[in-house]
Structure 1
C-alpha cells in the first residue's frame, strides 16, 4: 500500500538497526495504534474507556463505533495516507473520531479550533489534507464555513467533515453517524484490511511544533513510536485498569493524546474528559471519582481546593511552568502524590517517578519515561557536553523522538546533531536533589512564549507586527502571568512617529486571520530598541525585565 504523504524525501524514518533494536528490546511492537486499541478492548471490553459529561463509553463500545466510522470514511473514498485537518473540541465524538481516522489509515493533523487562515493555510500547504474535520458549533467562529473557504482559497476539492451537531451546509458530511448502517463485523473487516497494509514506521499522526521560525513545523508521528510514547508514560505513572485520568486541556494536542488518551488507554484506564474551564475542574475530578489529573498553569490552584479532601484523587501531574511549593505541600497534607511532567510533540518526555522525594518532585522534572531515551546537555550551538550540574541545551534521541520534521530537509540539518540527537532549544541541568539524579528546567534558547500551555513563536508574531504600515521594528517577549504562566508583550518602534495602540494591533491580526492566543496582550511603543552593543542585536533580556513590571492592558 502506498500512503499519499508517506514519501522518502519528506519523511525521515528510524534506521533499520534502530528498528531491530527497539523491537528486540520489547519497546516497539508490530501492532498499529488502532490494533492496540482493539486488543485493549478485547481484554477490558466492559470497562469505561471514556467519561465525558453524562456519556460513558466502554472500550468495547468505543472500538465498535470507531470501526463503523472508519468503514464509513473508507466508503466516502478517503483512502489510507490522506491527511485530515482537525479543529474540534473536547467531546465524546472527538475521541471516537480520533480512533476512527487512525483505523481508516488516515492521518490526523492536530490543529486547534483557535487557528485561522494564517495558520491553517500554511499547515495545509505542508500536509495536503484530503479532508477537514470541524466542530459544527463554535461560540467564537463559523468553523464549517471557514473549512469550505480554506478549500476554495487553496483551489482543492477537500471533504469537509462535521462533528457534534448538524452540518448546516449540504456540502458537508456529518461524521457522528457515518457508518452506523454498516454491520459491525463488516466494519471490523474493513479496518483489519486497512491496518494490514501499515507498518511500525507508517505515518500515523501529524503534530505541530511550537516552531522556531514562522508557522509551526509539522511533526510526523509514526505508528510504533507514538504508541510507545503513551505506553511508556503509563508505565512510569503505574497506571492500570481502574485508574481514571481527568483531562481538561485541549485533547487534540500532543499532551492530550499522550497523557489523556493513548497513555491511559494503553493499560485499560479511563479518560475523564472535561473542557479548559478552571471553574469546572473540581467537579470534573471529584464528581467522576478521578484518580489522576493533569494540571496546567491556568488550573494549578485546584491543588489548594479543600474540596479535594476525601476524594478518589491519588496523583497530580503539573505541567507548563514551575510549581509553587505550597501547591505540592497542600496535596501532600491530604495524602495525594504530586509531581511534574515535561514533554514535547517532538518526542522526549520526562516525569518525576512515584518514589522520588517531595523535594525532587517539587524542583525537577525527573527523568525520561523510557529506558531507551538518551539525553545529552550541550553548550548551546555546539556538540560539547557540559559538566554535571551545569546548564546546557537539552538534546535527545530515542524510540519515540522524531528523526526529522516533515518535508523540512534544510531545517533538519540545523535541528539535529551529527549523530542524530534532536536539539530541543530548552536549557536544562542534571542535578542530584534529595539523593536522586534528575533534570531541572533552566529556560529556553528558542524565542517562544508558553501561554497556558500553547506555544507562541516570537519570530512569527514579530513578522506579523512588522507587516503593519505603522511599525518599523517589533520584538515580542514573555510577560509573567500568575494564571497562564506567560503572556505576550510587544515592544514596537513606529515609522516617522506614527501612533499605534493595542486595539489597532488586534484589528491588524484579525485582518490577517491570526489565532487569538498569539495576539499581543500589551503594546509598548519605544523611541528605539535597546541593543546589545557589541553585536547590535535587540537586548531581549532588557525587554523582559521591563515586561516583568507590566500587566495586561485593560480592554
Structure 2
C-alpha cells in the first residue's frame, strides 16, 4: 500500500470536502501545479534568493521538474516518503517542490535530529529515501543516513555538495540531462493521479507523549494554509519575505515557501543567526521579515530600516515586548504577531488592527473557514469572552487526525471533531477590536526558540540514567529563546549527577541537542501535590524562574 491510499490517514468526509470546494477554500489542482501556474504568470520574478544564489519562478519550476523526473528514474515511485535533513539553501527549495512533483512525500525532520528521533519517525513513515546535507560542520549527516538505512531498502540522497560516500546520490543536478518538455510531461502525469486530499507532506508535532507524532498534510488544505496567510498579510508580486528559521519546518513552508509563492512573492532565505539579519534585510531589500525569539532584539537595531524597503515585521514564538513593537512603529514599519501550528490553525494580527491590539494579541484566524472554540480544560464547555480556555479548532487546513494514531486521536479531538491544541487562550477586545491572547499551555511542553521539547520524553530519558531515580523537566524563562529546559532530579542513594554527565548520557542516546536540559538541580525529594501525589510542577516552574538569571548557557 502506498501512502496515497493509506487508511491510516484521516481524511475529510466527502460532504466536508464538497463544502470547502463550494465555498472556495479548497482549489484544485495540486501544490506542484499551483507553483507551475505561478511560474507561467510570473516567470522572471525571483522565487528564491539565498546569498549569491537565486532562481526565478520559471527557473525553479523547470529545475524541480527535472529533479522530479530524475528521482523517478532512480525508481522512487509516487507515494514513497523521503526523510529531509537539509539546510536553508536554494537547492533545498528546489528539492521540496521536486519531491512534491514526483509524488513523493517529504518528511520534515531537522538536521538537529539524531537516532532517537529519526529511527522512530522512520518506523512510522517507512521512508524510501533520506535526503541530507552533503556537509554539516557539527555532524556527519551522510554517514548517519547510511547508519539509519542499515538493513532496509532506502536510497540516500545528498544536496549542497559532493557526496562523501560513493553510495550516495547527488540530487542537485539529477535529471539535468532530461529534456524539460519530457520532465514536464512526467510531472503532469503524476499530478493527474493526485486529488485534493492526496498526501503532500508529513510534518511533526511538538508532541507530549514521546517523540513527535506525524501530521499528514494534504494537498488542498496545505495549499490553503499558505495562501490564506498570504492574503491576510496582503502579500503580492514584488514583496520579498525574509525568513531565517528552518525552511522545511511547517513555519518555513507556510511563511517562507507556499505563502509567498502562492501570490508570486519572493522568499529571501537566510540562516538562523540573528547577527546576519540586518545585512540580509538591507542587502536584499526585503519588504517583510519574520523574527523568532532568538532574533527579537533585531527590531531595536536602527540599521534594520536603512535600506528603506522593509514594511512589515512578524514576531513568532513568544510574547513580544512592547518596546520592540513601538521601536518599529516609530520608524514607520508595521509590526504584528503570528501564532501557528503544524496541526493547522494559524492566527495573525490583521494589517488594519490598532497598534495596541497588534502588540498585545496574536490577532484572529487567517481563514474565514477556521472555527475556534475556547473550552474549560478537560471539558466541552465554552468559556465566556474574556475568560481563559483551551484552544480547540477545526477548519479547512486543520488536521482531523495524526497519522496511524487512532487511540491518541480519540483523546485529541472533541466529539464534534475540534482539535484540542493544549494551548490556553482568551478572546478579548483590545483597542476596540476582537482578538485572541495566548495565556499558556495545558500540555507539558517547552518552546525553546520556536522548537518544542516534550517534557515527558526527556523525563523518560533522564530516568534511564543509572544515577537518577526521578526527574521532572520544566520551562525556565530565557530572554533570547523564550524558554530553556531545566531538569529537577532525585538521585539514587549515594549517586551523584551533574549537567556534564546528563549531556554525555543524551549524546550516547542520540538525542537532538536542542532537547538537552540546560540546567540540572538535584533535590532530596520531589515536591508533591498532596491530594494526589503528583509532582508539583507549578512549584518547580517557580523555582526555575528564580534560577533563570543564573542559568548556564
TM range (shorter): over 0.9
Per-residue deviation, residues 145-189 of structure 1 (Å, max 9, x unmatched): 00000010xx20100000000111111100001000000000001
Matched, 1:283 2:279: yes
C-alpha distance in 1, partners of 2:418/2:515? Answer: 30
Matched position secondary structure for 1:177: coil
The answer as to whether partners of 2:83 and 2:109 remain within 8 angstroms in 1 is yes
Per-residue deviation, residues 423-471 of structure 1 (Å, max 9, x unmatched): 0000000011100000000000000000001000000000000001110
1:502-513, aligned counterparts within 5 Å? 502-513=499-510
C-alpha distance in 1, partners of 2:258/2:125? Answer: 23
1:144-159, aligned counterparts within 5 Å? 144-152=142-150, 155-159=151-155
Matched with 1:41 is 39
C-alpha distance in 2, partners of 1:411/1:171? Answer: 39
Q: Say which is worse superposed, 383-392 or 5-14, in terms of deviation.
A: 5-14
C-alpha distance in 2, partners of 1:432/1:508? Answer: 49
Matched with 2:532 is 535
Matched, 1:239 2:235: yes
Matched, 1:463 2:491: no
Shift in Å at residue 7 of structure 1?
4.1
C-alpha distance in 2, partners of 1:229/1:553? Answer: 38
C-alpha distance in 1, partners of 2:540/2:551? Answer: 17
The answer as to whether partners of 2:215 and 2:402 remain within 8 angstroms in 1 is yes
C-alpha distance in 2, partners of 1:455/1:429? Answer: 22
Shift in Å at residue 377 of structure 1?
0.4
Shift in Å at residue 553 of structure 1?
4.9
Matched with 1:365 is 362
Per-residue deviation, residues 463-516 of structure 1 (Å, max 9, x unmatched): 000001110000000001111010000000011131000000000000000000
Matched with 2:322 is 325
Residue among 455, 472, 477 paired with 1:475: 472
C-alpha distance in 1, partners of 2:175/2:506? Answer: 40
Matched, 1:115 2:108: no
The answer as to whether partners of 2:444 and 2:454 remain within 8 angstroms in 1 is yes
Shift in Å at residue 5 of structure 1?
2.1
Matched with 1:334 is 331
Matched with 2:2 is 4
C-alpha distance in 2, partners of 1:161/1:495? Answer: 45
Matched position secondary structure for 2:184: helix
Matched with 2:135 is 137
Residue among 530, 547, 550 paired with 1:550: 547
Matched, 1:345 2:324: no
C-alpha distance in 2, partners of 1:490/1:118? Answer: 19
Matched, 1:172 2:162: no
C-alpha distance in 1, partners of 2:494/2:320? Answer: 43
Matched position secondary structure for 2:477: strand
Residue among 127, 134, 137 paired with 2:125: 127
Shift in Å at residue 549 of structure 1?
1.5
Give the unaligned 5+ runs of structure 2: none
C-alpha distance in 2, partners of 1:497/1:431? Answer: 53
Per-residue deviation, residues 367-413 of structure 1 (Å, max 9, x unmatched): 00000000000011111111111100000000000000000000000
Residue among 193, 200, 205 paired with 1:197: 193
Matched position secondary structure for 1:312: coil
Q: Over aligned residue pairs, what C-alpha RMSD do you find?
A: 0.9
C-alpha distance in 2, partners of 1:430/1:553? Answer: 34
The answer as to whether partners of 2:519 and 2:551 remain within 8 angstroms in 1 is yes
Residue among 467, 482, 485 paired with 1:485: 482
TM-score, length of structure 1 as denominator length: 0.98
Shift in Å at residue 554 of structure 1?
4.2
Per-residue deviation, residues 25-52 of structure 1 (Å, max 9, x unmatched): 1110121000000000000001000110
Matched position secondary structure for 2:493: helix
Matched with 1:272 is 268
Matched position secondary structure for 1:382: coil
TM-score, length of structure 2 as denominator length: 0.99
Give the unaligned 5+ runs of structure 1: none
Shift in Å at residue 6 of structure 1?
3.5
C-alpha distance in 2, partners of 1:30/1:356? Answer: 32
Matched with 1:261 is 257
Matched with 2:408 is 411
Shift in Å at residue 55 of structure 1?
1.0
1:516-527, aligned counterparts within 5 Å? 516-527=513-524
Matched, 1:293 2:289: yes
Shift in Å at residue 8 of structure 1?
4.8
Length, aligned pairs only: 551
Matched with 1:102 is 100
Residue 495 and residue 7 in structure 1: after superposition, are their counterparts in 2 closer, same or farther (change >3 A)? Answer: farther
Matched with 1:447 is 444
Shift in Å at residue 353 of structure 1?
0.2
The answer as to whether partners of 2:518 and 2:552 remain within 8 angstroms in 1 is no
